[in-house]
């Protein structure tokens, strides 16, 4: 469900019906800076999204209906054994350096992504066995094993297309080379503001509504709100913990519109690194930590009711979701007994958190809640570009981040198990996922298998989920298409390519 309010409860018709000003500059705020322009070497699956999605086209994009939509791939067909995908590609796309996009270019980018994309990206192409060039505008992707999350990966970093001239370059981190609707102007950019110029040769006119685009790095919500009020920026995403102050800012004559979405398919959750703390290898310890999380208190008090308590692997409406399954399993007494029985009543942990909200505050609340069952936890905050690598390196036994619970169950499992848990995945889960990935994903057998996985992970969690946050975007009332940023069924960050500014008096 998506709602919009402006000027009290009335909304602003001009923002939704005005004529776009193609000579305007759209200025959006994001919580982290661009640390690299190489889509295959990202260190965060969400932090780089607005920058990368603006600069690079992908083979497909993910629709708000939870289904893949064409982008550079116009259509595709999956083989009966689900071990290959044949894609028909657009023939009217040119990279910024003048190179044509074709099947050879797609093959080169996919093969590079297979070599370089790591777990931090959330888009590893490890199941791709080979990529065949069928003809100049057709590729065939062959898989070593069924991969139901392949299309999600191809709608993200795994499907980003790089110019063939740049594929072999080592300087992509500092010199982007894509075909996207806006071209980074690195000479005009600073450490806190990235400037993009419109790509006048872009193939999709609907995605180039502005003459230029600016992405401002602002990680404090009050600073974002002030910048919106003064007109320094046009649009910003806010943490649920800021909902009250953001809502109160939208008054008659404020010139602001508030957009919220509560149908999110991702959750704030706890990742676990079991390689550096033997106790975390014990499923009873992980279950005890989950039982000690007061999800309702976090959702209601810290996040102002803008986060729905959620503990199971899959979100509502996703295959495998079980209504009523332990949505808020808060039981500190049982958690304390479980730790004692496991011999870990004096457990000590470091909680890694990014320096942005709501994750930092959630980590601090968990520190206090876990203390009530005898766990001594410290909180260490790191910039987003350092956070993921530090966790993998074992600088914290747990970390706080965003974890998908849909719209594709295989993607949710990959993030909660392969990415959310560093350690040996239990044999039962490997066996069940191998079985279910080979099944038709919309059939009853797959649903039963995913429900079995959900039930077992509820009792033997690898990582832990807390609540599903609402998306909150505040925009000036001359912004067109802000509702298109509410792609909450897929991610925590937005793609600004379809947003524009209305002409004055238009």
Looking up residue 137, the CATH number of its domain turns out to be 3.90.76.10
Do 484 and 427 lie in one domain? The reply is: no
Q: How confident is the model at residue 32 (pLDDT cuts 50, 70, 90)?
A: confident
> Which residues are paired to 135 by β-bridges?
138
pLDDT at 326 over 90: no
pLDDT at 197 over 80: yes
Do 370 and 481 lie in one domain? The reply is: no
SS3 400: strand
In a domain, 59, yes or no: yes
254-263, 381-390, 460-469: least confident range: 381-390
CB 440 within 8 A of CB 448: no
Do 439 and 476 lie in one domain? The reply is: no
Give the domain extent around 406: 266-469
Considering 159, 194, 215, which residue would you say is the last residue of a domain?
A: 159
CB 338 within 8 A of CB 291: yes
Q: How is residue 102 written in tokens?
A: 């074709």
Do 303 and 439 lie in one domain? The reply is: yes
Q: H-helix or E-strand containing 32? A: none
Do 289 and 229 lie in one domain? The reply is: no
pTM over 0.85: yes
pLDDT at 158 over 90: yes
SS3 414: helix
In a domain, 287, yes or no: yes
pLDDT at 111 over 90: yes
pLDDT at 489 over 50: no
pLDDT for residue 12: 38
pLDDT for residue 62: 82
In a domain, 506, yes or no: no
Do 444 and 475 lie in one domain? The reply is: no
Of the candidates 267, 280, 277, 265, the one whose C-alpha atom is nearest the C-alpha of residue 462 is 280
- The DSSP string of 42-53 is -S-TTTTHHHHH
Q: Is 64 or 82 the better-scoring residue by pLDDT?
A: 82
Do 120 and 198 lie in one domain? The reply is: no
In a domain, 165, yes or no: no
Considering 129, 159, 189, which residue would you say is the last residue of a domain?
A: 159
Do 271 and 356 lie in one domain? The reply is: yes
CB neighbour burial string for 67-77, b if at least 16 within 10 angstroms, e if fewer: ebebbbbeebe
Of the candidates 265, 267, 271, 322, the one whose C-alpha atom is nearest the C-alpha of residue 299 is 267
In a domain, 233, yes or no: yes
307-316, 451-460, 491-500: least confident range: 491-500
CB 21 within 8 A of CB 465: no
Do 99 and 18 lie in one domain? The reply is: no
Q: How confident is the model at residue 492 (pLDDT cuts 50, 70, 90)?
A: very low
* 3-class secondary structure per residue, 421-461: EECCCCHHHHHHHHHHHCCCCCCHHHHHHHHHHHHHHHHCC
The CATH number of residue 409's host domain is 3.10.105.10
The CATH number of residue 24's host domain is 3.40.190.10
pLDDT at 136 over 70: yes
In a domain, 145, yes or no: yes
pLDDT at 256 over 50: yes
pLDDT at 273 over 50: yes
Do 298 and 256 lie in one domain? The reply is: no
Share of the chain above pLDDT 90, in %: 70
Do 397 and 460 lie in one domain? The reply is: yes
Digit-coded pLDDT (tens) for 93-107: 999 999 999 999 999
In a domain, 330, yes or no: yes
In a domain, 246, yes or no: yes
Tell me how many domains the chain contains.
3
**CA 423 to CA 420: how far, in whole Å?**
10
**CA 199 to CA 206: how far, in whole Å?**
12
pLDDT at 463 over 60: yes
Q: Is 198 or 390 the better-scoring residue by pLDDT?
A: 198
Q: How confident is the model at residue 11 (pLDDT cuts 50, 70, 90)?
A: very low
pLDDT for residue 31: 84
Q: How confident is the model at residue 174 (pLDDT cuts 50, 70, 90)?
A: very high
Do 226 and 300 lie in one domain? The reply is: no
């Amino acid at each position: 469900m998506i709602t919009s309010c402006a000027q009290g409860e009335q909304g602003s018709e001009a923002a939704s019906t005005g004529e776009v000003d193609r000579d305007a500059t759209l200025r959006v705020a994001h919580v982290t800076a661009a640390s690299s322009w190489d889509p295959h070497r990202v260190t965060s699956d969400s932090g780089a999204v607005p920058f990368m999605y603006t600069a690079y086209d992908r083979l497909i994009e993910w629709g708000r209906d939870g289904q893949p939509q064409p982008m550079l791939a116009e259509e595709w067909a999956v083989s009966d054994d689900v071990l290959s995908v044949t894609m028909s590609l657009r023939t009217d796309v040119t990279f910024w350096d003048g190179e044509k996009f074709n099947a050879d270019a797609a093959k080169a980018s996919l093969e590079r992504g297979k070599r370089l994309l790591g777990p931090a990206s959330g888009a590893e192409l490890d199941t791709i066995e080979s990529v065949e060039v069928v003809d100049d505008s057709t590729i065939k992707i062959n898989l070593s094993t069924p991969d139901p999350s392949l299309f999600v990966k191809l709608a993200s970093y795994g499907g980003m297309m790089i110019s063939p001239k740049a594929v072999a370059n080592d300087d992509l981190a500092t010199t982007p080379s894509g075909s996207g609707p806006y071209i980074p102007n690195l000479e005009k950019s600073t450490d806190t503001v990235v400037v993009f110029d419109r790509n006048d040769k872009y193939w999709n006119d609907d995605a180039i509504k502005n003459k230029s685009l600016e992405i401002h790095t602002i990680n404090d919500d009050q600073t974002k709100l002030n910048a919106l009020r003064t007109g320094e920026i046009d649009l910003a995403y806010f943490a649920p913990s800021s909902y009250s102050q953001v809502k109160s800012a939208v008054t008659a004559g404020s010139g602001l519109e508030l957009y919220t979405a509560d149908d999110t398919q991702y959750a704030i959750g706890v990742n676990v690194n079991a390689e550096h703390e033997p106790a975390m290898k014990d499923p009873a310890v992980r279950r005890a930590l989950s039982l000690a999380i007061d999800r309702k208190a976090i959702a209601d008090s810290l996040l102002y009711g803008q986060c729905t308590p959620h503990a199971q692997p899959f979100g509502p409406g996703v295959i495998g979701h079980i209504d009523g399954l332990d949505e808020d399993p808060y039981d500190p007494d049982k958690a304390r007994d479980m730790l004692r029985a496991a011999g870990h009543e004096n457990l000590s942990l470091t909680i890694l958190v990014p320096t942005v909200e709501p994750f930092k505050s959630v980590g601090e609340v968990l520190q206090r809640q876990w203390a009530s069952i005898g766990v001594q936890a410290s909180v260490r905050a790191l910039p987003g570009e350092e956070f993921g690598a530090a966790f993998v390196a074992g600088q914290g036994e747990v970390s706080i981040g965003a974890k998908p619970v849909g719209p594709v169950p295989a993607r949710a499992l990959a993030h909660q198990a392969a990415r959310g848990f560093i350690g040996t995945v239990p044999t039962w889960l490997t066996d069940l996922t191998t079985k279910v990935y080979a099944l038709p994903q919309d059939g009853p057998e797959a649903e039963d298998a995913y429900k079995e996985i959900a039930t077992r992970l509820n009792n033997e969690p690898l990582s832990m989920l807390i609540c599903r946050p609402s998306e909150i975007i505040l925009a000036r009332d001359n912004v067109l298409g802000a509702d298109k940023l509410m792609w909450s069924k897929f991610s925590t960050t937005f793609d600004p390519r379809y947003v524009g500014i209305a002409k004055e008096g238009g």
